[in-house]
Amino acid sequence: MAGKILEILRDLPRRNMMLIGGTARNTVMLDYLRSEISSLTVPEEAPYFEALGCALWALEHETLPVSHPEAVIQQNHSAFHRLLPLADFVDHVDFRTMEQGVARRGDTCILGLDVGSTTTKAVLLREEDSRVLASVYLRTNGDPVGASRACYADLYRQLGPLAGEILVRGVGVTGSGRQIAGLHAMTEGVINEIVAHATGALFFDPTVDTIFEIGGQDAKYTYVKDGIPSDYAMNDACSAGTGSFLEEAAKESMGVAMEDIAEIALKGHAPANFNDQCAAFISSDIKNAAHEGMSREDIVAGLVYSICMNYSNRVKGNRVMGDNIFMQGGVCYNRAIPVAMAALTGKRIVVPPEPGLMGAFGVALEIRKRLESGLLREDSFSLQSLRDRDIAYESPFVCHGGKERCDRKCEIARIRMGEKVHPFGGACNRWYNLRYALSVDGESLDLVRSHAALTFQGPVAGRGDSPLGGASRTMGINRSFLTNTYYPLYTSFFSRLGFSVMLPDSPRIEGMMSKGAAFCFPAELAHGFFYDLLLKKPDFLFLPHIRGMYVEGGNSTGTICPISQAEPYYLASAFRDVEAFRRLKEGGSVLQPVLDFSQGYDAAREALADLAHSLGCGKKDVKRAFSAAVADQEQAAAKAKSLGRNFLHTLEEHSDRYGIVVFGRTYNAFVPEANMGIPRKFASRGVGVVPLTFLPLADEPAGEDMYWASGQLILKGAAFVARHPQLFGCYISNFSCGPDSFLLGYFRRMMGSKPFLTLELDSHVADAGLETRIEAFLDIIRNYRDLHGKRKIPSVAPSRKTPSMRVDSGTFRMIGSRGETYPLTHPRVHLVFPSMGRFHSDVIAAVFRSAGVRATALPDSDEEVLKLGRGNTSCKECLPLQLTAGSLLKYLRNRTDRDERLVYFMPTAGGPCRFGQYSRFMEAMIERLGIADVTLYSLSAANSYADLDASHLTRNIWTGMVIADLMEDIHGVLLCAARDRNAARAIFLEECGNIVTVLESSSELKHLRPCLKQSAARLKSIPMRRRPGEIPIILLTGEIFVRHDALSRQYLVERLADAGFATKVASVMEWIYYTDLCTRKGWGDRRLSVKEKASLVLRTMWMKRYERAISNLLAESGLIPNRLEAVPHLVAQAGPILNPRLLGEAVLTVGAALADVPAPYCGVIALGPFGCMPNRVSEAILTPEMSRGKRIPQKRPEIEPAFPAEASLRRPLPFLAVESDGTPFPQIIQAKLEVFLLQAARIHTLVQSAKTSP
């Protein structure tokens, strides 16, 4: 506990602190904390300090009167949300049964043994009819060999006199203890549990596509494609999604035995929602629920739900969930658990016979299959000999790495069986190979190691042949992201200019802990390496912002993900207080050029030359250095391709061999600090492994509309590997990788029936889990190749390809699936808008109706829409995609007009965030589901929605968006300050309806003026509790869809109103102005002609004129200020800490927070979907920046001057970053929101005082 406290305080000076809470009575913890913190105060009132604070606050503030003490306690109020009764879902689960066989003299059998961490199971399978003749299920008790021997003894006992009359010709061992149990059994039939469980499930149903397996301490997910396991995940060290969690929580907190849980849970009427609670805190929640008077049945049912929530969120996560789901493992003997899983997933669940024995049953089936196919040598085993065979453990030793010079220093056990001692263990297969006298040249088989060698140890690395003499100045370069690609160029360029290039040695933990957001593993490593680099004290830091990367034969756009692009900016924020960085920053020695290699190396020549000139280097020297650097970079790339050609040539000369292609990025898949030694694990098993970038991919397709450079490489590689009979893909990804949330789905579809492996890594991934998955993958490949040679592999099922429709924006016409064309005004054409904020969707649909288009705005998203969306995505994709996909599917399911030609509005973009992939995903979904006569209408932010101009609706749509944005502002004020909120809301909705009615008849501003004036007058008449100018306002910014959608933002606007705050939701106008600005400035990939520039300038001018006119009209309501959007001002505010050439919402979020807090807004919430890359960049930058207090902003046009005390307001400013997955915010976010609002209220009071003071 003390260590956790100190970890939280890592960025704070350890002095003058107060400790409160019940644990302050723990003297052992206090002694440790006092040794680490000077002047630690522990008040006597520490255990009830918060309650005391509430009482003291109440003494100084107005409180509600209390008639009697009992009135303080809310009756029938619970701190827990409730879930649906489990009994409602019993019929969603199919519990299968199977009759056990009876042993006969002379039976030929296979013994299957599943040695798990908690339990060990064994079955004796008769070969001729697959009947189980005997089985055993017992505790492992930390002794896998002892548990195995106990299983053999029990099987022997069950068979009685027949034990010696039955032939056991194969023993298969699986489970986490399979290697040591297999060594003891002296069998070659050691099979990983993925294959074993999949084989068992497929025996009962060949169409199964998803397997949920929950054991005592392990939980696993397997996705089966065409009968072959192709994706897999398992739990980490946390036990909260396993059987032990449920058993211990029920027994210790409630005295309920494991065997009684199901009966009690199924009687619950309103189960408690404990969420995916950690095992360390569940006892507290159980006690709180009991104190509230919750029934035992509802608490136990809540526990059952909790184990399934934990599995779903932490094991399955965002992975694919098919339509035929098997659930197995020992916990399924508790019937309530699969019922809860059915309730949560909305899918039917099948529980096979004896679910706890499925591993043992499956491994026995797998051994039989391998014996029949000749893949395993037949042997004869005696149950008695297995029972009586003993082992002894001798002193272990440390592995020193062998000729591969591995530095992991694994501890190797020494196991004696009879007269022989066997080395056992290690992260790779080295000692297994030695134990069985297998000769494997792992070093030559691992070409992934060659990538790092070519990049960092090639002929240019650290060269000193500078034309400027000896290198006197040091240039520090972080060993992160695309340094792992472009280091040959960097080091050659700077060394030739007289600099000594300095790299960090290793990622330091204290640096990794400095990250300001929940970044991916490569970004964590970037922080760790950067801190190590700072400690080396270089003279300069080279921190380039790399926008794009060249892909040979790729698309015209080759952008980089926002997390990688933003590295120089969030590192600068994270380490701004480190003395070495502050010194370099103040001395102008932190170099942050913007480089774009997407059009080739020459495209970065000017930026690097300008940088070198600023360092005092001459033009001729710079020119020579750059040319030589490019040559060195190309030489390294050519060497890589040569190694790849040799690899393929050697592989193709030996048709019995196969190779693994590692997919990923140079910085997460090809360097040892990030790839967890995965390539070596393959190579030490005798399988060649090559990085994706070594392959000849120039002529492969890069993927339509794929703007990420890494995505183009991955899709090119996928096409190559899918076609090559001897290559198989291992895709290394990272948890919360934004691009991979889409790319993995594309990759999976391109692989078809061919096996592949997906590994998601972070700093907490366990090595044992990787070993299991790699072993399973290699087993699956061998089976696949064997069956493929005998032509038993089923062909890829043809997709239900639907002739596609499309919209021609240039002619404003829809082209049907059979080539027929319709104007969008045709009666059969139906233009449908997903909910993008209630009023915004209604307005844009009304504008199209005014032009004669049959247009409909779908209602707000709800839980049904979210469930439909999740059921048709992998759940890794953004929440907006899940909701828009779900909305379309719900509409299609319920529509009555089956003859319509449906056009679904789905805007798009050109990167770098995920938004631009939505339309491609939706098109693929429509095709995959075989939906006819549906297409998308996709306007692009990449060209500032220029395609809309052809419809002649641009001005009308802009008019509608301005009105919608301003009415949203009014709505936020009314919710907060109207005397009668319901009455005010009714008037507001009525006026919205009036505006929509006018828009339907004519969207021209001259016809709207009377309506807007009338609406403003009526809204002004609404009685208010407070004057609008005195209301504290929170700015809600972040991702544009989520901040406008009620379900996505979890009704945050209403919650803030309940707390006394109005909400300003960052407008749609802001985004459109921003796309115009990016296009005008040339920050994107599109280059405008003179005519196009002039047209865009004129468009921006009339847009501003319309905004001003509508703002003047609605400001007459007295509810909102007449304040115009000033996007160039926001971008300028962000400029010193975030270059505007990082395209997307991050610059707007950062700029608005710095410019507009504490006035006119007293706090800012950055809201985005889970895993939103721009939002995490904003969080990482703004968290430290806002903690510094107010900077003096540049003067904003068209607003009143800043209040007098602004310059003195140096206290931390309220900022909160929130990610939404469409479900209620977790408790930690609720608590952070409460603290945020307290801070915001204080800031508002300060601002108001400053305004009124003379």
- CATH code for position 100: 3.30.420.40
If pLDDT is split at 50, 70 and 90, which confidence band does 1223 have? confident
Can you tell me the distance from the alpha carbon of 247 to that of 254, in angstroms, rounded to the nearest whole number?
Answer: 10
Q: Which residue segment(s) compose the domain that 681 sits in?
A: 444-450+657-789
In terms of domains, do 312 and 417 share one?
no
Can you tell me the distance from the alpha carbon of 420 to that of 983, in angstroms, rounded to the nearest whole number?
Answer: 87
Question: Are 679 and 449 contacting, i.e. CB atoms less than 8 angstroms apart?
Answer: yes
Average pLDDT over residues 438-460: 83
pLDDT at residue 467 tops 60: no
If pLDDT is split at 50, 70 and 90, which confidence band does 793 have? very low
- CATH code for position 585: 3.40.50
72 is a domain residue: no
In terms of domains, do 1030 and 1121 share one?
yes
In terms of domains, do 203 and 235 share one?
no
Q: Which of 760, 789, 818 is the last residue of a domain?
A: 789
In terms of domains, do 929 and 1073 share one?
no
1172 is a domain residue: yes
pLDDT at residue 1199 tops 50: no
Can you tell me the distance from the alpha carbon of 1164 to that of 1151, in angstroms, rounded to the nearest whole number?
Answer: 11
- Going by C-alpha positions, the residue among 601, 627, 523 that lies closest to residue 568 is 523
pLDDT at residue 752 tops 50: yes
More confident residue, 1208 or 627: 627
pLDDT at residue 461 tops 60: no
In terms of domains, do 1025 and 1134 share one?
yes
Largest interatomic CA distance in the chain: 105
Question: Are 1164 and 1139 contacting, i.e. CB atoms less than 8 angstroms apart?
Answer: no
What are the pLDDT digits (tens) for 839-874?
999 999 999 999 899 999 999 999 889 888 887 887
DSSP 666: T
Tell me, what's the pLDDT at 803? 45
pLDDT at residue 983 tops 90: yes
What percentage of residues in the chain have a pLDDT greater than 90? 60
In terms of domains, do 1025 and 1162 share one?
yes
pLDDT at residue 740 tops 90: yes
φ/ψ of 475, rounded to 5, equals -115, 110
More confident residue, 948 or 927: 927
Tell me, what's the pLDDT at 663? 98
- 22-26, 69-73, 154-158, 368-372: range with lowest mean pLDDT: 69-73
In terms of domains, do 783 and 810 share one?
no
What are the pLDDT digits (tens) for 1069-1096?
999 999 999 999 989 877 888 888 888 8
Query: Which range, 218-227, 401-410, 806-815, 1226-1235, has the best average confidence (pLDDT)?
Result: 1226-1235
Query: Which range, 737-741, 756-760, 999-1003, has the best average confidence (pLDDT)?
Result: 737-741
Coil/strand/helix, residue 1216: strand
Tell me, what's the pLDDT at 873? 85
Q: Which of 10, 34, 56 is the last residue of a domain?
A: 56
Cα dihedral value 955, 960, 965, 969, nearest 10: 130
Question: Are 327 and 341 contacting, i.e. CB atoms less than 8 angstroms apart?
Answer: yes
In terms of domains, do 337 and 373 share one?
no
Tell me, what's the pLDDT at 13? 76
In terms of domains, do 785 and 821 share one?
no
Tell me, what's the pLDDT at 1253? 66
* CA angle (880 as vertex; 878, 883 as ends), nearest 5: 115
Average pLDDT over residues 729-753: 91
pLDDT at residue 21 tops 70: yes
What percentage of residues in the chain have a pLDDT greater than 70? 90
Single-letter code of the amino acid located at 530: F
- The mean pLDDT of the chain is 88
88 is a domain residue: no
More confident residue, 1229 or 780: 1229
Which pTM value belongs to this model?
0.83
1216 is a domain residue: yes
What are the pLDDT digits (tens) for 667-711?
999 999 999 999 999 998 899 999 999 999 999 999 888 999 999
Residue 1089 burial (C-beta neighbours within 10 Å; 0-12, 13-18, 19+): exposed
Query: Which range, 13-22, 401-410, 771-780, 1113-1122, has the best average confidence (pLDDT)?
Result: 1113-1122
What are the pLDDT digits (tens) for 315-355?
787 677 888 999 998 889 999 999 999 999 889 999 999 99
Tell me, what's the pLDDT at 112? 97
Tell me, what's the pLDDT at 791? 44
More confident residue, 318 or 902: 902
Tell me, what's the pLDDT at 554? 94
What are the pLDDT digits (tens) for 876-888?
889 999 999 999 9
222 is a domain residue: no
In terms of domains, do 962 and 841 share one?
no
Tell me whether strands 545-548 and 594-596 are parallel, antiparallel or unpaired: parallel
651 is a domain residue: no
pLDDT at residue 781 tops 50: yes
992 is a domain residue: yes
Number of domains observed in the structure of the chain = 8
1241 is a domain residue: yes
What are the pLDDT digits (tens) for 909-918?
888 999 999 9
In terms of domains, do 1191 and 1243 share one?
yes
Can you tell me the distance from the alpha carbon of 155 to that of 149, in angstroms, rounded to the nearest whole number?
Answer: 10
More confident residue, 899 or 580: 580
- Token representation of residue 608: 């690097």
In terms of domains, do 1039 and 928 share one?
no
- 592-596, 791-795, 969-973, 1160-1164: range with lowest mean pLDDT: 791-795
More confident residue, 282 or 902: 902
